[in-house]
Amino acid sequence: MASGATVDGPAAASAKKPKLHGRAFYESLGSPKYIVAPMVDQSEFAWRMLSRSFLPESQQSNLLAYSPMFHARLFHESQKYLDQHFQATKPGSDAPFLDGNPAIDRPFFVQFCANEPQHLLRAAKYVAPYCDAVDLNLGCPQGIAKKGHYGAFLQEDQDLVFRLINILHENLDIPVTAKIRLLDTKEASLKYAQNVLRAGASILTVHGRRREQKGHLTGLADWQMIRYLRDNLPAETVLFANGNILRHEDIDKCLAATGADGVMSAEGNLSNPAIFATPPAAGQEPRGYWRGRDGRGGWRVDEVFRRYLDIIHQHVLGAPPPQRRPLFVPGDDTAWMDEEIVLPGQAEGDDRGPKKRRSDVGKENPALMAANFIGLQPHLFHLLRHFVSRHHDVRNALARARLGEMDSYEAICRMVEKKTAEGLLEYEKTGGKSVEAEDCAPAATQEQLDDPESSARAISDCRRPWWVVQPIIRPLPKEAMAKGAISLSKKDRKRMASEMEAGKEGEKGAKRNKDVVVADASAAVTAAVTAQLEKTTSYPSSGLVSG
């Protein structure tokens, strides 16, 4: 077991408060309706702070953030794992530091995956003094969760689900919450939710997709199913909805459609950490917010990049951020754009040798293995996804950046600022035509925009210039299959063909219009598979494909 991670928790536990439950607990937090989702290695302290930074200080308590998903057994058995993922106090002291710091990182829930109640309780006891609730992950659909028997792969064992939640409910001084996925039917999903609540969960988060809806099969989250649960669970149940949140505008749509108390975002938040903030009014935009000639806008990537680095400097490293010039807007002096940007290791005589493996870096400097450093590069790739598809030099520089090497990230940030400035100047020079010229995709037809089985509407609504943060749009399952991104196993093809052949035999002799006969077996299989893939992606008025 990790040093100090005992069942009784750290020695410096904070004073106990009366334990609240359900809606009383939720209201004690300020009834937050914006929730940063628990994401493996991606909802660490610095990212939570970045997401909060776009809200006015008076509204930051309205954003509830979850920790990344932690493995309960590793958390309490491995000091190395604990040190890497959870930094609630400063090294060698009991002073608040990062995770769960009452001054800057609340409300805050810590999420664990587990399949053994005692392991879960030990880990939960350790974090309890530093968070507002402990959450059980019952939604992870990935292969590693199947192999480890946790996340969404516990849903067949409702007795174990009950015991995992109940042991925390009975033994923690703070509430327990849980996040689930939908089952195949609304009746089964309701029984599942009722079991979780009966076990003692104070808040229930529902991801509106089934376990198999991931990757190219993600499809739409089913808001109607979440509404069914809302209408059939006790009125005092606190319910969070997760899925289909690509833009800020989707939050109120989700609340209205589902009746949920709050809305959780994962991928939408990763693409745009300002997703929960109300966009500034026209004419009141700060320098870091761009608005185009068509009135549509968004936060600039250079602004978000700067904020992220400043949080690392100030909070993680405990040092003042570098002095920075105001972000460029057209009309400013451009002399700075002629300055040469030299990446570390590329200057004459600056030979750092080959990039080291993470394990070697950790041996030389264990402090760099902390989650806030490990998450930096992946987060920036996600934020700059559209940007680096055009600027490959930035992509290559980011790929070469070394763990914790802040001078490299500062140099890349300057590259991003310069290229953003060039894009803004070109946009003004051409009256906006430069953006139109760079859009190589053919314009969607009205039929495509109105098609609920197409992602065209979401792409059209969300598209912004490459210097603006924006969501990554997944194709719907039918589109993915048409592009060859989804393929069937031989077993599935054989089964589908057999089913279709049996259906044809049963229809022999019936009077049918020959135009509706599926003559080609492969086409029949494709049609059947398409129907199967779209099984529960039927929210009719949603043009969203991710979240």
DSSP secondary structure, 88-118, as one string: -B-TTS-SB-STT-TTTS-SEEEEEE-SSHH
Are 241 and 261 in contact by the 8 Å Cβ rule? The answer is: no
Look up residue 419 and give its two tokens. 């290229």
pLDDT at 480 exceeding the cut of 60: yes
Active-site residue (options: 140, 254, 413, 462): 140
**What pLDDT digit, counting tens, does each position of 426-466 carry?**
999 999 998 876 765 567 777 767 677 777 788 888 899 99
CA dihedral 153, 158, 163, 165 (to 10 degrees): 70
Query: What pLDDT, on the 0 to 100 scale, is given for residue 266?
Result: 95
Phi, psi of 68 (to 5 degrees): -60, 165
Burial of 326 (0-12, 13-18, 19+ CB in 10 A): exposed
Look up residue 64 and give its two tokens. 């509830």
- Which amino acid makes up residue 173? D
**What pLDDT digit, counting tens, does each position of 385-414 carry?**
999 999 999 999 999 999 999 999 999 999
Are 35 and 240 in contact by the 8 Å Cβ rule? The answer is: yes
- Cα 189–Cα 265–Cα 291 angle in degrees, nearest 5: 145
**Distance from C-alpha of 343 to C-alpha of 226, rounded to nearest angstrom:** 49
Which is higher by pLDDT, 475 or 230? 230
The conformation of residue 368, written as its DSSP 8-state character, comes to: G
To the query of whether residue 462 is one of the catalytic residues in this protein, the response is no
- pLDDT > 70: what percent of the chain? 80
Global pTM reads 0.86
**Distance from C-alpha of 275 to C-alpha of 277, rounded to nearest angstrom:** 6
Single out the residue of 484, 478, 481 nearest to residue 538, CA to CA: 478
Query: What pLDDT, on the 0 to 100 scale, is given for residue 2?
Result: 44
In the structure, what pLDDT confidence band is assigned to residue 61 with cuts at 50, 70 and 90? confident
Are 37 and 269 in contact by the 8 Å Cβ rule? The answer is: yes
pLDDT at 96 exceeding the cut of 60: yes
CA dihedral 481, 485, 490, 491 (to 10 degrees): -70
**Distance from C-alpha of 155 to C-alpha of 210, rounded to nearest angstrom:** 11
Query: What pLDDT, on the 0 to 100 scale, is given for residue 353?
Result: 66
**What pLDDT digit, counting tens, does each position of 196-237 carry?**
999 999 999 999 999 988 876 788 899 999 999 999 999 999
Query: What pLDDT, on the 0 to 100 scale, is given for residue 504?
Result: 58
Contacts 24+ apart (CB under 8 A), 249-254: 250/544, 250/547, 251/33, 251/34, 251/275, 251/276, 253/542, 254/223
- pLDDT > 90: what percent of the chain? 69
**What pLDDT digit, counting tens, does each position of 299-341 carry?**
999 999 999 999 999 999 999 999 999 999 999 999 999 999 9
The conformation of residue 132, written as its DSSP 8-state character, comes to: S
Average per-residue pLDDT for the chain: 86
Q: What DSSP element (H or E) covers 169?
A: helix 158-171
Q: Mean pLDDT across the stretch 287-297?
A: 95
pLDDT at 275 exceeding the cut of 50: yes
In the structure, what pLDDT confidence band is assigned to residue 542 with cuts at 50, 70 and 90? very low
Look up residue 314 and give its two tokens. 């100030």
- Which amino acid makes up residue 460? S
Contacts of 438 (CB under 8 A, 6+ apart): 390, 466
Q: Mean pLDDT across the stretch 89-95?
A: 94
In the structure, what pLDDT confidence band is assigned to residue 536 with cuts at 50, 70 and 90? very low
Phi/psi zone of residue 136: left (φ > 0), alpha (ψ -120 to 50 degrees), beta?
A: beta
Query: What pLDDT, on the 0 to 100 scale, is given for residue 213?
Result: 85
Phi, psi of 234 (to 5 degrees): -55, 145
Q: Is 69 helix (H, G, I), strand (E, B) or coil?
A: strand
Distances (CA, A) of 241 to 214, 255, 267, 274, 467: 17, 8, 14, 19, 30
Total residue length of the chain: 547
Distances (CA, A) of 508 to 72, 407, 420: 58, 73, 65
Query: What pLDDT, on the 0 to 100 scale, is given for residue 307?
Result: 98
Contacts 24+ apart (CB under 8 A), 15-22: 16/173, 17/173, 19/173, 19/174, 19/175, 20/175, 20/202, 21/175, 21/200, 21/202, 22/202, 22/203, 22/236, 22/237, 22/238
CA 283 and chain centroid, separation: 31
Q: Which of 125-134, 428-437, 470-479, 519-528 has the lowest mean pLDDT?
A: 519-528
